[in-house]
Structure 1
Amino acid sequence: MVEEGALLWEPSAEIVGGARITRFAEWAGRGAERYEDLWRWSVDRPEEFWVGVWEYFSVVGERGDGPVIEGTMPAVEWFGGASLNYAANALRGEPGRVAVVARDEVGGRRTLTYGELAEEVGRVRAGLVRLGVGRGDRVAAYLPNSAEALIGFLATASLGAIWSSCSPDFGASSVADRFAQITPKVFIAVDAYTYNGRRFDRSEVVADIAVQLPGLVATVVVGAGEKLPDEMPGLVLGWEKLRGEAAELTFEAVPFGHPLWIVYSSGTTGLPKAIVHGHGGIVLEHLKALSFHQDLGEGDVFFWYTTTGWMMWNYLVGGLLVGATVVLYDGSATHPGTDALWRLVAEEGVTYFGTGAPYLIASMRAGVRPEGLEKVRGVGSTGSPLPPEGFAWLYDVLPDVQLGSFSGGTDVCTGFVGAVPLLPVRAGVIPCRCLGARVESFDPDGDPVVGEVGELVVTRPMPSMPVMFWNDPDDARYHESYFADYPGVWRHGDWIKIMPDGSCVIYGRSDSTLNRGGVRMGTSEFYRVVERFPEIADSLVIDTGQLGQEGRLLLYVTLAEGEALTDDLVGRLKAALRGELSPRHVPNEIREVPGIPRTLSGKKLEVPVRKILLGTPVDRAANAGAMANPEVLKHFLP
């Protein structure tokens, strides 16, 4: 077992000296400071820091003469009087440099230079204008991670219209739950997609979604569209028709907080929250995060495995803001083999590769040893906590890269905590709190603690916090989601331990805590023990206890191929949990299930399963359309 905190990598003097964050610190007159001091400046004097980000990157737009920050959380306004446009900042790369490489599972490959991308955006922008789309209108997309999705987004943003996307593996009901809330004027959809070697026709799903979108003017079909039903609301046209006329690309200047896109909470336990982010907040946050924390800029090739239904897609396309080449991939991470993404990374000369922690664990378990990755200098991990064993495996196969484990959320479309080129990497430990993110750990009384597990809170505003929730006119749902527990303080819902040096460990969601005899523990510690067993492919632990009443601790396991849940395996599991956690954390029962329920972005559904075990009907506990494998829920009935 790998010891948490074991040193795995340290930046060389050359890496530190050449890092973009070092150049920024020198520019800002803070070149001699340690990272912790630089972070402290960024959160104690946010007006100076965020103005510095704007000026350092020469953001395209007018900063205005209003205050940088006005008000207190949750009612904060940033950069009053400023105007800008996300697309204008994303498309300012040199016209001849490659901006996008779009790959798919069946071998398709397309490249666009910054100049070619701007031309395509201009064409689609003109097509949207012909359909009546203007400032403030919504464009909804049911698309894979393709060039069309990126072009459609940038065209929408250039108009000051508002983008929102879902992946085509979402079911009709889950998509309608999202898009019907925002009443889009135009719906862009693919009629089929390929995943894991299979082609899935979505014609009927597209039609089903369209009829549930009030006020829809037009549906734009990417693909042949031959199987779409004759009865569709509004105009139906193909993508080629939409982009059919060349046009000059211009950009609508909008206020700093003008809505850019709408993203959604998982929607597994109720109607998804429609989270609205603004142009200015996302431009500044992504410039900061991508350049300073991941050290990305011109000459880099940036790839994060994601779908359009996960906020990491929005983060990935932000690579254009720093002048990088972004790689879009439409397909399965493990087809035709577990090493599929590693091979793509090698083929495209990727310099920074990001993925979910489960993929790194799957690669470790499959014994993958990537080759041809000489250009890779950074690997990012997010979505769930990466255990120390995952850290150690990566450094066994790629000893010279910097592993960046990040934790944040859809809510802010970035990371609260993560890596930075100035700090070492230790097993299971996230090196720092991100610049501009005043993250603290609160005990049950709302007091900050160091060296103890507590609630992850943010005590100062960040510019990429939501400008609002859609259809939440008095901000009641927004307030309830983040500010109900600690007035004026953002409670994110994760367990975190912050070390004296500013590094931290994330222990999973605080609303799925294991509380045994007064000993509280995040589920990630439990999974670290269980999933080290080669016989276990996946697991889920649920504490059915309620306020003032201890319940049963149930462990569900999905077995590796050819394995069985024998008495010997059960005994070894219980012994390991007793010895490495505590006697209180030995499960009352270990049950075999064919699969662990997960969201479409790969997160385990701990809270919905707990609700099912406490008597909530399956269809009320979880939205099947927002799940990757809803068929497994029936195996968790009490």
Structure 2
Amino acid sequence: MTDVLWRPDPARLRDAALTRFATAAGRAWATYDELWRWSVDDLEGFWASAAEFLGVRWHAQPSAVLGSRAMPGAEWFPGGRLSFAEHVLTGRDPDAVAVQFRSEAAGNGAWTWADLRRETSRVRHGLVAAGVGAGDRVAAYLPNLPQTLAAFLATASLGAIWSAAAPEFGADAVVARFTQIAPTVLLAVDGYRYKGRAVDREQEAREIADRIGARRIRFGLLDGTGWEAGFTGDPDAPPEFVDVAVDHPLWGLYSSGTTGPPKAIVHGHGGVLLELLKTAVLQLDLRPEDRFAWYTTTGWVMWNIQLAPLLAGASVVLYDGHPGGDTLWELAADTGITVLGASAAWLEAQRKDGAQPRAGRDLSALRAIGSTGSPLPAECYDWVYTEFPADTWLVSISGGTDIVTPFLGLAPNVPVYRGELGPPALGVDLQAWSPDGRPLRGEVGEMVVAAPMPSMPLGFWGDDDGQRLRASYFEHFPGVWAHGDWLELTPRGTGIITGRSDATINRGGVRIGTGEIYQALASIPEVADAVAVDIPRPETHGAIVLFVVLDGVPLDEALTTRIRTAIRRGCSPRHVPDEVLAVADLPRTSSGKKLEVPVKRLLMGAEPDSVISRDSLANPSAIDAVLDAARSLIPPLRPAHTNLENA
């Protein structure tokens, strides 16, 4: 199969927002790479042009684009005042559909823009009556429903600060998050449905509210009662919008909680607004007729990013329930989704399950399929372009909770190459650096951002001196954001993420990311999932342990040999695993990310509760599966399988 899997449609490109933006900025002739180079070389010029083109509504004009370029501490659009919620809700056709939804508990339905404005106004009234004002925190223990969107917009319209946890999380995981921010109220559901089963959350909601010292406002989903009596106000009252400074906190998001207590990451109104507008309009080319869906819970950053289509005037399709089988494809067919996204793990599961999305259903409206959360295997690219027409845009992106926008992957005028992400996003000075800080091209290096972005965190909640923020992103290369991923920027400007840089395996100077091991294993259909970790041993070169989840077959000597041979050929003889262990499941976050570093620390003797918050995992019992398998590795591992002298 050719490396080029998709090329932009010239007719759509002529009318694309990116084309019109380049013309308005005096760069109609520019290729994407030239446009990107201008956007990072002239950061102030680019963001001034973008804010004007994207129609940012200023209540007070800023005195500059960048008051300070320091990282951390960049000062964006000083003096400017605006409202995020106003940008979502103003200037819309009241009768047009804003939100479609499907829920195992709530059924199917749709809201117009008028409906969304009314519900936002009703919840805003209730929050005000509960004592919420600018700067107060509103915590949400709610599923992915339109009422949750309205509750966020009501919070933002007051200048209050939103923070959410999915109801799939247990009480301890939620308390670990919300205790940090001391919310005034907790908006909490009575339960949800998953795989057809009702999951009661009344006890957890009461416990969380009590432990964080917040008033609980109940939302009855299982019993169908909605917001508690007396909470919401007049649906006919028009929404009001408090304007705030660009750096006024909009929401607090959380790191995964896999290396200790989750960090509360705070982002500002203006920075998020600019980045999401840029992503939706310029990078993804969303238009009012688009219908956007990304399978997510409220505990994953993709829930926040799905606000981007609303900012562009497009509609969103929400799903609350189990995404297995053909569920999401049926949703896409029934609602006319044009852009459908999910985690890379979900797409890979669809491939391995032999899914046939277009069999018996009309997916002709679907123009783009998105993936994020982890690197997408090249075989998944092949699967998508086997199952879908050649004009389907496969959008594999890399971003993060830390910056609530993609670093790279979205460019409507750049071809899709097999196994590669698109180029860096406009305004993102993304580079791959050697350990001594040299930019690399065509080689794997540390992924860094060498200039500020508007949506970089204002800080961590409670980190008043900024020490934790600096240690998290700016310690490795002072004054430069180091994200913790291995990145290769190809000569043609695309990107390849090969895994976490803190999960690198170095053998005799040959360094690879674990993603390369997983890529090699894609040729073995019996391996449904895998995690590779490198365990240091002072007396040896260390030991590579590979945990595999198998698809209905035992791990015998023949399969072990095939696994080792695939890694030897696909990676290097030095990275053949010393131990291959079969487990029933592997721990993942709720967004599908593999927990390589926590698993490594467990094998090195750390107590589970010190490295992993079980309640934050999609499958908490998988920790026990790993620990049970690892018992065979104690006493110390036997590093006998890799012959370094002959490598």
TM-score (structure 1 length as normaliser): 0.95
Identify the residue that residue 233 of structure 1 maps to in structure 2. Answer: none
More off after superposition, 402-411 vs 205-214:
205-214
1:567 aligns with 2:553: no
Cα distance, 1:225 vs. partner? Answer: 8.6
Is the contact between residue 138 and residue 184 of structure 2 (CA under 8 Å) also seen in structure 1? yes
Secondary structure of residue in 2 paired with 1:319: helix
Contact 1:98 1:325 in 2 (8 A): yes
Distance 2:202 2:294 in 1: 28
In 2: Cα distance, 1:17 partner to 1:226 partner:
51
Does the C-alpha gap of structure 1 residues 107 and 134 become closer, same or farther in structure 2, counting only changes over 3 Å? closer
Which aligned runs of 4 or more in structure 1 are off by greater than 6 angstroms? 224-227
Give the partner amino acid of 2:550.
L
Measure how far apart 1:619 and its partner are.
Answer: 1.6
Q: Percent identity?
A: 47
Structure 1 distance, partners of 2:594, 2:435, is: 25
Matched position secondary structure for 2:298: coil
Is the counterpart of residue 413 in structure 1 residue 412 in structure 2? no
Contact 1:432 1:503 in 2 (8 A): yes
Distance 1:110 1:74 in 2: 44
Identify the match of residue 31 of structure 1 among 28, 31, 34: 28
Contact 2:586 2:626 in 1 (8 A): no
Matched with 2:637 is none
Bigger drift between 169-178 and 289-298 goes to 289-298
The CA distance in 2 between the partners of 1:492 and 1:571, in whole Å, is: 35
Conserved? CA contact 2:106–2:221, under 8 Å: no
State the Cα distance separating 1:519 from its structure 2 match: 1.0
Please state how far the C-alpha of 1:44 moved relative to its aligned partner: 0.9
Q: Residue type of the partner of 1:109?
A: N
1:549 shift after superposition: 5.7
Task: Tell me the secondary structure at the aligned position of residue 537 of structure 1.
Answer: strand
How far apart in 2 are the matches of 1:292 and 1:351? 17
Report what 1:230 is aligned to. Answer: none
Contact 1:144 1:167 in 2 (8 A): yes
Gap change, CA 1:258 and 1:603, over 3 Å in 2: same
Rounded Cα–Cα distance in structure 1 between residues aligned with 2:539 and 2:609: 28
State the partner residue of 2:498: 507
Contact 2:247 2:268 in 1 (8 A): yes
Q: 1:500: how far off?
A: 2.0
Cα 1:171–1:54, aligned 2, differ >3 Å: closer, same or farther?
A: same
2:408 counterpart SS class: strand
Could you tell me which runs of 5 or more consecutive residues in structure 2 were left unpaired when the two chains were aligned.
631-647
Post-superposition offset of 1:119: 1.1
1:342 pairs with 2:332 = no
Whole-Å separation in 1 of the counterparts to 2:386 and 2:230: 51
Take 1:69 and 1:58, find their aligned partners in 2: how far apart are those partners?
Answer: 19
Give the conservation status (yes or no) of the 8 Å contact 1:195–1:331. Answer: yes
Is the CA contact 2:379–2:522 (under 8 Å) kept in the aligned structure 1? no
C-alpha displacement of 1:224:
6.8
Deviation at 1:154, TM superposition (A): 0.3
Q: 2:270, 2:150 → 1: CA distance?
A: 20
SS in 1 for 2:212: coil
| Native 8 Å contact 2:67 2:76 kept in 1 | yes
SS of the aligned residue for 1:436 comes to: coil
List runs of 5+ in structure 1 lacking aligned partners: 228-236
Confirm or deny: 8 A CA contact 2:165 2:299 kept in the other structure.
Answer: yes
The whole-number CA distance in structure 2 between the counterparts of 1:549 and 1:465 is 41
1:232 alignment counterpart: none
Partner of 1:22: 19
CA, structure 1 residues 547+314, in 2 after alignment: closer, same or farther (shift >3 Å)? farther
1:515–1:545 contact (8 Å) kept in structure 2 = no
Give 3-state SS (helix, strand or coil) of 2:406's partner: strand
Is 2:69 aligned against 1:79? no
SS in 1 for 2:102: strand
Write the distance in 2 (CA, Å) between the matches of 1:106 and 1:204: 19
Conserved 8 A contact 2:155-2:161: yes
SS at match of 1:414: coil
State the match for 2:569 in structure 1: 579
Say which of 217, 226, 234 aligns to 1:245: 234
Residue 182 (structure 1) aligns with: 181
Q: Give the C-alpha shift of residue 292 in structure 1.
A: 1.4
SS in 1 for 2:293: strand
Q: Distance in 1 between matches of 2:62 and 2:544?
A: 57
Q: Distance in 2 between matches of 1:23 and 1:195?
A: 44
Deviation at 1:629, TM superposition (A): 1.3
Alignment correspondent of 1:480: 471
Aligned residue in 2 for 1:196: 195
When residues 634 and 340 of structure 1 are mapped into structure 2, their CA distance, relative to the original with a 3 A threshold, is same
The aligned amino acid for 2:19 is T
RMSD of the alignment, in Å? Answer: 1.7
Q: Secondary structure of 2:496's match?
A: strand
2:259 corresponds in structure 1 to: 269
The answer to whether structure 1 residue 368 and structure 2 residue 368 are counterparts is no
- How far the C-alpha of 1:18 sits from its partner, in A, is 2.3
Q: Counterparts of 2:93 and 2:20 in 1: how far apart (Å)?
A: 22
Q: Cα deviation per residue 1:609-630 (whole Å; 9 max; x = unaligned)?
A: 0001111111212111111112
**Alignment-derived partner of residue 103 in structure 1:** 102
1:424-503 alignment, distance < 5 Å: 424-503=415-494
> 1:571: Cα distance to partner?
1.1
Deviation at 1:602, TM superposition (A): 0.8
The one-letter code of the counterpart of 1:81 is G
For 1:278, the equivalent position in structure 2 comes to 268
Deviations 1:506-544 (A, max 9, x none): 011111111122211111111112133111111111111
**Residue identity opposite 1:196 in structure 2:** K
Contact 2:338 2:367 in 1 (8 A): yes
Aligned equivalent of 2:634: none
1:599 maps to 589
Distance, in Å, in 2 between the alignment partners of 1:68 and 1:361 is: 42
Displacement of 1:634:
2.3
Amino acid across the alignment from 2:38:
W
Deviations 1:574-614 (A, max 9, x none): 11111121111111111010101111111001000000111
Determine the C-alpha separation between the residues in 2 that align with 1:293 and 1:64: 26
Aligned to 1:89: 87
2:322 corresponds to 1:332: yes
In structure 2, what is the equivalent of residue 390 of structure 1? 380
Cα deviation, 1:244-296, whole Å, max 9, x if unaligned, reads 43333110000011111110000111111100111111111001011111110
Partner of 1:318: 308
The Cα shift of 1:59 comes to 1.4
